[in-house]
Amino acid sequence: MFSPEDLERLRQKGAEWREKNASRPRRRAAYKTPSQITVEPVYTPENVPDTDYLADMGLPGEYPYLRGIHATGYRERLWTMRMFAGFGMPQETNARFKTLLDSGQTGLSVAFDMPTLYGYDTDDPKAKGEFGKCGVAISSLADMETLFDGLALDQITTSMTINSPAAIIWAMYLAVAEKQGAALDRLGGTLQNDILKEYIAQNEYIFPPGPSMRLVVDTVEFATKHVPRWNPISISGYHIREAGSNAIQELAFTLADGFEYVRHCLSRGLDLDEFAPHLSFFFNVHNSFFEEVAKFRAARRIWAREMRETFHAQDPRSATLRFHAQTSGATLTAQQPENNVVRVSLQAMAAVLGGCQSLHTNAKDEAWALPSEPAALQALRTQQIIAHETGVTDTVDPLGGSYFLETLTNKLEAGAYEYFRRIEDVGGVIPALESGFFQREIADAAYLYQMEEDRQERITVGVNAHTTEETLEIPLLKMDLEGEQRHIESLNALRRNRDNRDVSEKLRALEQAARRDDNLMPPLMEAVKAYATLGEMMGVFREVFGEYQASWGI
């Protein structure tokens, strides 16, 4: 803390410095972060005059967790290196998993193809032409068995990026584990399962918000009782940022979604301190280095304060925000793709300095195609170099106390609270998404960012400055053109060889449970084990719940 006399002396010196340097030429007219926070030429203690470093920041591992949720940071344990992977047939992705694990990856993260994300079997007419392009195709328990063949699920942690069909895909995973002889209470991992951000940003929703939230709470309730080491929701700002939001919007909208899930779980009658410690988050890491570090720190403090003061959490773990980070796909450029290695390295460093619990680094070729094996390995090596060669893991919160960083942290937090107020003014999260509030805010931010790039107020090297005439010289992943047909043949064989009478009974039981208020995980587990397909189970839900059509317009 600085005395009033010290602060007055600093104010005077600062005023003299600004007057002395005011006439110096500037490289550009305005200096702002992508969130439009004005960046001053110099920062001193007068920028954070009212900060009580113990009360407002705390120490690592102590409330309000601004400086990290673990007292020892990465000195005792590194973040989980969890590369996002999935393409083509389950056999192909299984091979990629094993390669990454052999190369030092410490957790799996599954990408599913578009038909799977929308709950269609590979042979559905609506799935034609989309097989395996943005992830692996999973149509049944048999596919999930192949995907994790030779991998002991009670010895690794798995993250699955799936939302509308999340309960079904998770049921398949749990069934595979049981077939391996693994106890459910020994399984660790994360289910993305964040349907609110689908309505807000990614648009891979299927059902109306009501039944969608019911499915989410069903998984939280089931995990709390039967899979206690599992994180049943990964509340995701990543896709909000990829849709064009700025850092304040990503922070505010993500945390608002998190609070909404808490409210729905409490309405179900769940105990806060039983489920809240297993809520996790997923953030983007964009290019504005210091703003990104500040965003993660602000997120921890906001979550801690609201969980303690608004929701009255008693267990300290309920107030600790744990998050996975992924470098920004939207910042990758098709031009000069080798530059993406540098972008990803800096973004990954920001995630580490911000205190992430797990991290995915994008590959340099992802502006062109799914990652090739060499590019994915290079992205993993980026994390390993940061962990073992830079020294940034030697101390906790290395940037903490920086006048600039603390000012950014405070401004991001203030911006988030202003959005919380505006969301409440329109009735809360679900009315806000149904009215298009979130979508319009994101569209405005994306438009502003693009205009700044077009005017060269923001430079993207190789795109709007320092361009060259070039041809692509990096090897890209080649998809198996026959894979779709082989997968369909395998699916048809499954339907012929299973006990179809048993499948019909299990689907009928699932429908009856859906029409009541039953938790849907137990009947889903039964249907999955009978080898009902993803499309068949989602078809039951479509019939009972209906499909959602957004009525708002930008």
Average pLDDT over every residue of 67-94:
95
pLDDT digits (tens, 9 = 90+) for 199-243: 999 999 999 999 999 999 999 999 999 999 999 999 999 999 999
Q: How far does the chain reach from its first CA to its final CA, in angstroms? A: 48
Q: Note the pLDDT of residue 481.
A: 76
pLDDT digits (tens, 9 = 90+) for 236-253: 999 999 999 999 999 999
pLDDT digits (tens, 9 = 90+) for 423-459: 999 999 999 999 999 999 999 999 999 999 999 999 9
Tell whether pTM > 0.85: yes
- Using alpha carbons, select from 97, 103, 216 the residue that is nearest to residue 159: 97
- Specify whether the CB–CB gap between 2 and 52 falls below 8 A: no
d(CA 196, CA 146): 31
Q: Provide CATH code, domain 53-454.
A: 3.20.20.240
pLDDT at 2 over 80: no
Q: Note the pLDDT of residue 471.
A: 74
Chain mean pLDDT for the chain: 95
Q: How confident is the model at residue 332 (pLDDT cuts 50, 70, 90)?
A: very high
d(CA 177, CA 186): 10
By percentage, how much of the chain surpasses pLDDT 90? 87
Burial class of residue 335 in the structure, from the number of CB atoms within 10 Å of its CB (0-12 exposed, 13-18 middle, 19+ buried)? middle
Q: Does residue 64 have a cis bond before it (omega within 30 degrees)?
A: yes
Average pLDDT over every residue of 291-318:
98
pLDDT digits (tens, 9 = 90+) for 473-518: 788 888 787 889 999 999 999 999 999 999 999 999 999 999 999 9
Q: Where is average pLDDT lowest: 147-151, 283-287, 548-552?
A: 548-552
AA letter at 479: M
- Specify whether the CB–CB gap between 246 and 413 falls below 8 A: no
- Using alpha carbons, select from 320, 137, 162, 315 the residue that is nearest to residue 234: 162
pLDDT at 553 over 70: no
pLDDT digits (tens, 9 = 90+) for 339-362: 999 999 999 999 999 999 999 999
Residues 6+ apart with CB under 8 A from 293: 350, 353, 354, 399, 405
Domain with CATH 3.20.20.240 in the chain: 53-454
d(CA 130, CA 12): 64
Q: Note the pLDDT of residue 331.
A: 97
Average pLDDT over every residue of 69-82:
96
d(CA 73, CA 75): 6
